């Protein structure tokens, strides 16, 4: 079997199938792993999960979307494509491409820990793994979620005690729904930004039950939390900052001084990505013989894998990478 290639740079491509995985520019045919803006482009034809298709239509308008359910193989030229849950946000997917007896797994953004609002990740085995490494350094081992949620609830209770409304900044797709569900478990109602309300409706259509949330400018009682996107920080609603306590929810809260960088009272490491330890576990679960790392700390994580005896390389610009039978 002769060596051919797939390409990494502007996304991952399988030339013989005319297929791209999360490309950065519009392409004739592409898999979009999930509906966050840094992964969505106006491709001529897009393959994604049904939930991702609904979220793309809501957030970015109409497009030629082929909704492919999880675990349902699709023939694309000489290759077979199957999507598996990635655990990142609703509908997020890993892409498994099989051709010539070889298996390429592309992670997209990934979370192995269980989520209150997202399908749990399922990791298929592969020969070659192309993975995101956003938090690919040892210092990014996230604390147990139960501890983080307890800290968030305590932050809210402190706000109630001082007659300040707690405001939690969370990305409108994924993180916001997670924190709304977690606060509900602790009996804390939420007011939310309109963008979050619209996304909550999509979650409901796909079977994720969330509490009814009034708009963020509705009258609030003494024990109500506001959840809104980080870019809302300068909204006139928060003009009198003394009436509020602000917290950012992000994996980057692991960095010292994060609360000062986000101009908040606190920052909590609630993440919808894998931490360093789960990135290592992902490689182990995939049983891949070769790994290519993308985004974040790609060189550092690839180096750590090599120290562990795994053939691993960081992606560069427009790399041509050998994989027999895939391209």
pLDDT at position 1, please? 25
Residue that the structure tokens 């997202």 belong to: 118
Instruction: Write the pLDDT tens digit of every residue in 65-85.
Output: 999 999 999 999 999 999 999
- Asked if residue 297 lies in contact with residue 136, where contact means CB atoms within 8 angstroms, the answer is yes
pLDDT at position 219, please? 81
Query: What's the full length of the chain, in residues?
Result: 327
Specify the DSSP class assigned to residue 143. Answer: P
User: pLDDT means per 10 residues in the chain (327 residues)?
Assistant: 48 87 93 93 95 96 91 96 98 95 94 97 97 97 98 97 96 98 96 97 97 89 93 91 95 95 96 98 97 94 97 69 47
d(CA 73, CA 302): 30
Instruction: Write the pLDDT tens digit of every residue in 261-285.
Output: 999 999 999 999 999 999 999 999 9
Spatial CB neighbours of 80, under 8 Å, sequence gap ≥ 6: 73, 74, 97, 98, 99
pLDDT at position 241, please? 87
The secondary structure element, H or E, covering residue 122 is: none
Q: Residue 129: which of 308, 293, 309, 301 has the closest Cα? A: 293
pLDDT above 90: percentage of residues in the chain: 83
Neighbours of 163 (CB within 10 A): 8
Please give the domain boundaries of the chain with CATH numbers for all domains: 5-139+273-322 (3.60.15.10), 145-268 (3.40.50)
- Asked if residue 199 lies in contact with residue 172, where contact means CB atoms within 8 angstroms, the answer is yes
- Asked if residue 7 lies in contact with residue 323, where contact means CB atoms within 8 angstroms, the answer is no
Per-residue burial over 171-189, b if 16 or more Cβ lie within 10 Å, else e, is bbbbbbbbbbbbbbeeebb
| Two structure tokens written together for 47 | 């393959």
pLDDT at position 9, please? 59
pLDDT at position 132, please? 96
pLDDT at position 7, please? 56
Phi, psi (rounded to 5 degrees) for 179: -70, -35
């Amino acid at each position: 079997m002769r060596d051919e290639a797939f390409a990494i740079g502007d996304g991952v491509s399988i030339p013989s199938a005319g297929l791209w995985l999360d490309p950065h520019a519009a392409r004739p045919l592409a898999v979009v792993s999930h509906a966050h803006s840094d992964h969505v482009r106006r491709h001529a034809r897009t393959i994604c999960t049904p939930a991702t298709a609904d979220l793309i239509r809501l957030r970015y308008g109409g497009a030629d979307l082929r909704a492919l359910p999880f675990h349902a193989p699709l023939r694309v030229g000489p290759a077979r494509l199957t999507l598996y849950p990635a655990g990142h946000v609703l509908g997020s997917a890993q892409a498994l491409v099989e051709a010539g007896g070889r298996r390429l797994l592309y992670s997209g953004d990934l979370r192995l820990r269980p989520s209150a609002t997202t399908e749990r990740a399922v990791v298929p085995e592969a020969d070659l793994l192309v993975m995101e490494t956003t938090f690919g350094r040892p210092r990014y081992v996230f604390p147990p979620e139960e501890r983080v949620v307890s800290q968030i609830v305590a932050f809210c209770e402190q706000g109630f005690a001082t007659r300040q409304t707690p405001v939690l900044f969370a990305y409108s797709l994924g993180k916001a729904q997670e924190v709304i569900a977690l606060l509900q478990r602790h009996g804390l109602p939420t007011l939310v930004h309109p963008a979050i309300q619209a996304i909550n409706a999509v979650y409901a259509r796909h079977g994720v039950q969330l509490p009814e949330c009034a708009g963020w400018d509705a009258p609030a009682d003494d024990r109500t939390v506001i959840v809104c996107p980080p870019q809302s920080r300068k909204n006139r609603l928060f003009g009198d900052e003394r009436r509020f306590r602000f917290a950012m929810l992000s994996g980057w809260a692991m960095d010292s001084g994060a609360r000062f960088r986000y101009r908040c009272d606190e920052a909590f490491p609630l993440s919808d990505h894998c931490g360093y330890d789960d990135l290592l576990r992902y490689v182990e679960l995939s049983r891949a013989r070769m790994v290519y790392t993308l985004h974040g700390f790609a060189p550092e994580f690839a180096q750590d894998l090599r120290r562990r005896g795994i053939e691993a390389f960081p992606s560069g610009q427009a790399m041509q990478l050998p994989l027999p039978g895939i391209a």
